[in-house]
Amino acid sequence: MTATKTQFMSNTAAVRKGHPRSLYILFLTEMFERFGYYLMVGIFFLYLVGSKAHGGKGFDTLIAADIVGSYIALVYLTPFIGGLIADRFMGYRRAIIFGGVLMACGYFGLALPGLPAMFISLLCIIVGNGFFKPNISTLLGNIYNADDLKAKKDVAYNIFYMGINIGAFVCNFVADILRHKIGWGAAFSAAGFGMILGLIIFISGSKHVKVGDVIKPATKEDMPLSKIFLYVFGPAILVGTLGWNFHKIIGHPLFATVSNDAFFFACVPIIIFYIGILLRASHEDKRGLGALLAFFAASTVFWVIYNQNSTALTIWADQYTNRSVSKPVEKIAKPLYLLQEVTLDSSTQARVDSRFVQESITADMQRKLDSTMKTDPSTKALYPVYTVTFHSKKDGSYIGRGIFDAVADEKGVKEERRNAISDTTTGEALTVLCQDPYLQNLPKDQWPKQGETLGAGSTELFQSANPFYIVILTPLILGLFGFMKRKNMPLSTPLKVGIGMVIAGLSSLAMVFAVKSCNIYLDKTSMIWIMSTYGIFSVGELLISPIGLSMVSKLSPPRLTALMMGAWFLVNAIAGKISGMMASYWDKFDDKSNYFMLLFVLALFSAAIIFFMVKWLSAVVKEKTGSN
């Protein structure tokens, strides 16, 4: 049963000094939930672009980035609904359990073959996260609203955040081992088992967290749920449908793809809803809500940079980073399935950036002749497959050949040939039958010999760099804050956020230097660059993300805490979609440094806005909590 408000007030006094046991229950629950989430998201892009011959989906960068961006956006958009239902009807514990069960089903479903199973599974994870994510954070905040725990709320969220990153660190090693030893399905299933373990811990410790499980009935200032669905989600669906079809009006998608258009259009009524909450709020609540929404808007760029981890930085680690390891390391890592084995075998089908190669149209293609024939699965008839060969821009050596299907009639042949030439001259990624794509910009003197293998660190392992830094840096950052407080030089929460934004921007600037360090189409960059980027960003993340959760708890009216936590995740949703949209243009950036420079400039601009608001934000925080 959900605790009443009276129970909550009477029980807080019994919470022992230090941190209550409930913190560690929530710490472990979130750790295993994030183990599953980051395992899945860490390999999802690789799964989508991976060769069908090796169990992947074989999508190009545009489609894969659009799917990943849409998934991340919706994963963080649904907390808006889940927060509302838990706030006013369901209660936080039941919402967390319901959401966790849905997510576990979704992860297991990703192991099933076929696109319908994949999209249904993604829907389960998206909806499940909406019930789980905002409410476990709100539950922690409610527990720390007790008078003897309020001063420790920032520290509690930092400890909670460290649990998230322990799960995020370990998961990539598990994913790497399972997908190489068994397959993609086994890796996705491991995410489901992680979620189940988190639920077991949460349910077994439920009595320790019930003190914060408070249903807060709507007041006269709040919009009833029926009106929210009528005036928010109804318009969001209608406007989203308009966005989906907007390309038919203007002749092309406004934001690169129709799914981007639909998402950004649908967000407009939801943003208006939150502005309405601010305008209808009482005078007492208005200052806190105004400060919170201003902070949300300014921090959007941080989350755009954060979500590059699952798109642009994954591409960078996969294609542009020298992941080769020494023989001693290879001997240790190979039995653990922590390496990608690269050979000169030319049977790998993959998508490569045409800037790596130059094309020549074969005589076979010109004459509509080719030795390769393909069977049409519907008619069982044979038809020719036309080819384009690719040669290195560096030394002219043969790399591989592009495969272009065509029906036997003359019109089809010309259309396929036109597309082949168009693809290679506009810098789009191409599907080619070639040697391992890892070799495409690796100097030839570093290639393995015929019959030998080259060990390269698996791409997803780089995603463990960020949580590793978080775990290592969290006690150092907390120690620094404690030292400054003892010296009467404490940093206010808004000032920490502004500094964090600058540091996040510097992580993108590091990638600008990485691009400039060599000709990335002829050589690979040192892994020091991407590791440094993750390290710099992690410092900024510690100054923004856990503090952001804490600010929601500090500044929100109690009855709106979960709803405003949903707004915090709405910012994540918009940023995730923007990140996916940016990555969909990756192949069109001849100079990749421009991609990262754009992020750096946007981060500095957002930091300037936050610094401009520091005095006002600090005053509001102090007014609401007694401390800034």
For 342-381, how does the pLDDT look when each residue is reduced to its tens digit (9 = 90+)?
887 654 444 555 555 544 444 444 443 344 444 555 555 5
Higher pLDDT, 6 or 446: 446
| 3-class secondary-structure state, position 456 | strand
Element (H, E) at 584: helix 561-584
Is pLDDT above 50 for 434? yes
pLDDT number for residue 450: 78
Q: What is the mean pLDDT of residues 415-427?
A: 37
Least confident of 27-31, 212-216, 583-587: 212-216
Distance CA 551, CA 291 (A): 10
Distance CA 140, CA 146 (A): 11
Number of residues that make up the chain? 628
Distance CA 604, CA 589 (A): 22
pLDDT number for residue 396: 53
Residue 452 lies in a domain: no
Tally DSSP H helices, then E strands, for the chain.
Answer: 23, 8
- Is the same domain home to 412 and 464? no
- Is the same domain home to 309 and 198? yes
pLDDT number for residue 440: 76
Q: What is the mean pLDDT of residues 408-415?
A: 35
Dihedral sign (CA 220, 226, 231, 237): positive
- Is the same domain home to 382 and 425? yes
Average pLDDT, the chain: 80
Distance CA 248, CA 55 (A): 35
Identify the top-confidence range among 99-113, 241-255, 327-341: 99-113
Is pLDDT above 90 for 597? yes
Amino acid identity, position 321: T
pLDDT number for residue 162: 82
The two structure tokens encoding residue 613 = 């608001």
pLDDT number for residue 365: 41
Q: Which of 400, 435, 470 is the last residue of a domain?
A: 435
Is pLDDT above 90 for 173? yes
The two structure tokens encoding residue 551 = 């600010």
Residue 442 lies in a domain: no
- Is the same domain home to 392 and 480? no
Is pLDDT above 60 for 424? no
Q: What is the mean pLDDT of residues 496-503?
A: 93
Burial class, 48, CB count within 10 angstroms (exposed 0-12 / middle 13-18 / buried 19+): buried
- Is the same domain home to 309 and 350? no
> Kindly report the CA angle at 233 between 229 and 238, in degrees rounded to 5?
135
- Is the same domain home to 516 and 555? yes
Residue 327 lies in a domain: no
Q: How many CA atoms lie within 13 A of 504 on its CB side?
A: 32
pLDDT number for residue 628: 58
Is pLDDT above 50 for 466? yes
Report whether 246 contacts 53 (CB < 8 A).
no
Distance CA 22, CA 7 (A): 16
- Is the same domain home to 431 and 467? no
pLDDT number for residue 100: 96
Least confident of 8-12, 79-83, 234-238, 327-331: 8-12
Residue 204 lies in a domain: yes
pLDDT number for residue 58: 80
Is pLDDT above 90 for 132? yes
Amino acid identity, position 622: K
Least confident of 51-60, 130-139, 218-227, 581-590: 218-227
Least confident of 60-64, 455-459, 505-509: 60-64
| 3-class secondary-structure state, position 409 | coil
Whole-model pTM above 0.75?
yes
* Host domain of residue 593: 5-221+281-319+459-625
Residue 294 lies in a domain: yes
Distance CA 351, CA 360 (A): 18
Q: What is the mean pLDDT of residues 327-333?
A: 84
- Is the same domain home to 301 and 350? no
Residue 240 lies in a domain: no
Distance CA 303, CA 382 (A): 50
- Is the same domain home to 358 and 402? yes
Q: Kindly indicate the confidence band of residue 215, based on its pLDDT and cuts at 50, 70 and 90.
A: confident
- Is the same domain home to 59 and 206? yes
3-state secondary structure 325-375: CCHHHHHHHHHHCCEEEECCCCCEEEEEEHHHEEEEECHHHHCCCCCCEEE
pLDDT number for residue 123: 96
Give the CATH number for residue 604.
1.20.1250.20
Q: What is the mean pLDDT of residues 232-248?
A: 91
Can you tell me which residue has the tokens 């999802």? Answer: 44
> Distance between alpha carbon 343 and the CA centroid of its chain, in Å?
31
- Could you read off the pLDDT of 290-309 as tens digits, one per residue? 888 888 888 899 999 999 99
Least confident of 160-174, 324-338, 584-598: 324-338
Report whether 442 contacts 119 (CB < 8 A).
no
Report whether 115 contacts 131 (CB < 8 A).
no
Q: Kindly indicate the confidence band of residue 397, based on its pLDDT and cuts at 50, 70 and 90.
A: low
* List of residues 6+ apart from 274 with CB closer than 8 A: 293, 567, 570
pLDDT number for residue 126: 95
Q: Kindly indicate the confidence band of residue 392, based on its pLDDT and cuts at 50, 70 and 90.
A: low
Q: Which residues pair with 352 in a beta bridge?
A: 430
Report whether 2 contacts 270 (CB < 8 A).
no
Number of domains, the chain: 2
Distance CA 408, CA 211 (A): 72
Higher pLDDT, 574 or 588: 574
pLDDT number for residue 25: 94
Percent residues over pLDDT 70 in the chain: 81
Give the closest residue to 392 by CA, choosing from 456, 435, 328, 335. Answer: 435
Residue 447 lies in a domain: no
- Could you read off the pLDDT of 93-127 as tens digits, one per residue? 999 999 999 999 999 999 998 899 999 999 999 99
- Is the same domain home to 357 and 315? no
Distance CA 246, CA 259 (A): 11
Residue 18 lies in a domain: yes
Cα–Cα separations (whole angstroms), residue 188 to 41, 95, 111, 172, 623:
10, 23, 6, 11, 46
- Is the same domain home to 422 and 365? yes
> Distance between alpha carbon 559 and the CA centroid of its chain, in Å?
29
- Could you read off the pLDDT of 522-542 as tens digits, one per residue? 889 999 999 999 999 999 998
Identify the top-confidence range among 53-67, 319-333, 577-591, 594-608: 594-608
pLDDT number for residue 109: 96
Is pLDDT above 70 for 74? yes
Is pLDDT above 50 for 409? no
Report whether 551 contacts 565 (CB < 8 A).
no
Report whether 65 contacts 59 (CB < 8 A).
no
pLDDT number for residue 331: 84
